[in-house]
Structure 1
Amino acid sequence: MKPNLAALRAAVLEFGGYAGPDRSWTELALATAPAADLALQAHRRALHRWLNAWGCRIRYPREGEPEVFDQGVAGWWERWRAELPAHDTWMADLTDEQVEVMGECFADLASVPAAQTRSVRGLGSTAASKMLFALRPNTVMPWDEMIALRLHGARDGAAYTRHLVLGRAWARDLLAEAGIDEPALARELGRPGRSLAKMIDEYCYLVVTRDGAVTVG
């Protein structure tokens, strides 16, 4: 299922018909401009709303309840913000060391407390991957449960590391096929400003999540 340029072009064209993801992304970008800083409560709350708009269903606290998501994310940000790649790091340029660090970062984030009902619920692997994408949209791909299990057979930090390695390899091959850099490729595909990390995720969603493709061998 490795995408070539023709397959990627078809995927991003089709995904462009879904208005919801772009609208919610624009709202998040405006609320966290010029860049998300999760030391700020307003940015953490904007991220919470965006995650739910992307299907994560993280319960909002009722009046008088502890803000579990807010507190958990604030603590995670304090631990990991300095370890994240720079904002302008493209997925194709990730180093092996950065990939390994992102796997550790993801594993910690997935376990962060996010909501409380009768017990405390962790953020989970899907929401963690989407949150990391929101923080570094040029650099890492999000996933959902089906993509994680079909492509990697698991949803833990090691599987997330494999996902980044796979995306990096696909991005490098697509750029080599195109013979242009990433911003130029996005313009050529009619998605100026969109990262290959996001466009490859759109391809994975259509091929794996929606259409149920078989596991990559």
Structure 2
Amino acid sequence: MPELPMNQAVLSAAVTRFAQFTRVDEIWDDYLAATGARPDLSRPAHRTALHRWLNLAGCRIRYPKPGEPDPFDTGLAAWWGTWGTALPQCTLAQLTDDDLDLLGTGFAELAATPAALSPATGRARTLGPTAAAKALHALRPQTLMPWDEAIAAHLHGARDHTAYAAHQRLGRTWASRLLQEAGLGPDLDGALKLAAGLGRPARPLPKMLDDYCYLALTVDGGSTP
């Protein structure tokens, strides 16, 4: 798998370039407002807010018609009942190897969770690996990097639980390197100061790293760093 360069200059250039996508910030701000920036999927309104944010972020998870079952709502509520208290409450740089093993399992179960009914067959499709990774980021924005199909394929050659854990491990390496370069600690205060120094104080570090991956691998196809 290809190695991507990562330092403050590289991330700063990506952050500046990505800032042109203002709609991304708008839909994220709406999600934060709907969840009070403290998402809790035991609350129906927060499950609705996550469904809306995922769709606006490109996941295309069908909304049920009136009277139809809602697999997304019931599936996410059940998953949260198991995993809501198990998800790490630390920064990306603070993730432990045990956290990464646990996250791989939680990701796999979330990706396999029913999410929408097919209007043609009536069968439920699963959330899938891209939407699951984005959902986990939305639930722990300072902790977990999302991905898309191109990013996963370029960096890990797969989108299974092992690849997801490897993606967070890569993010941990990058985050630690950036914070050390800036003379900052791995805690939330350090991550927030790094974001402020990059001119994006409201942007979680895991999302800025994803912005970089998106530009380098999804938009540019890996042809530029």
- The normalised TM-score by structure 1 is 0.95
1:175-190 alignment to 2 at 5 Å?
A: 175-180=179-184, 181-190=190-199
State the 1:34 CA deviation: 4.4
Residue aligned with 2:116, SS: strand
Code of the residue aligned with 2:196 in structure 1: it is R
1:1-217 alignment to 2 at 5 Å?
A: 1-86=4-89, 89-117=90-118, 118=121, 119-180=123-184, 181-213=190-222
**Deviates further, 177-186 or 205-214:** 177-186
State the 1:178 CA deviation: 1.5
Code of the residue aligned with 1:159 in structure 2: it is A
C-alpha separation in 1, matches of 2:50 and 2:44 = 10
State the 1:193 CA deviation: 3.0
Residue aligned with 2:63, SS: coil
Code of the residue aligned with 1:94 in structure 2: it is L
Cα RMSD, aligned residues only = 1.2
Which segments of 5 or more consecutive residues in structure 2 lack a partner in the other structure?
Answer: 185-189
Following TM superposition, the consecutive aligned residue runs of length 4 or more in structure 1 with deviations greater than 6 angstroms are none
C-alpha separation in 2, matches of 1:196 and 1:25 = 14
Residue aligned with 1:66, SS: coil
Which segments of 5 or more consecutive residues in structure 1 lack a partner in the other structure?
Answer: none
C-alpha separation in 1, matches of 2:37 and 2:153 = 34
- The normalised TM-score by structure 2 is 0.92
C-alpha separation in 2, matches of 1:173 and 1:30 = 32
Code of the residue aligned with 2:41 in structure 1: it is L
Residue aligned with 1:134, SS: helix
Contact 1:11 1:203 in 2 (8 A): yes
C-alpha separation in 1, matches of 2:37 and 2:15 = 26
What does the per-residue CA deviation read over 1:101-120, in whole Å, with 9 as the maximum and x for residues that have no partner? 11110000000000011121
